[in-house]
Amino acid sequence: MRTAFQEGGENDPINQLLAYHVDLTTPSFGIQEEHNTPDEIFEMMPGTPRIRNGYLYGNDKPGLGIDIDEKIAAKYPLRDDYHNADWTSVRGMDGSVVKP
pLDDT digits (tens, 9 = 90+) for 31-44: 888 777 888 999 99
* Domain extent for 59: 4-98
pLDDT digits (tens, 9 = 90+) for 60-81: 899 889 999 999 999 988 766 6
Q: How far apart are CA 9 and CA 35, in angstroms?
A: 9
Name the nearest CA neighbour of 11 among 71, 93, 87: 87
Q: How far apart are CA 38 and CA 96, in angstroms?
A: 30
Q: How far apart are the first and last CA of the chain?
A: 39
Residue 90 β-bridge partners: 98
Mean per-residue pLDDT of the chain? 82
- Specify whether the CB–CB gap between 64 and 14 falls below 8 A: yes
How many separate domains does the chain show? 1
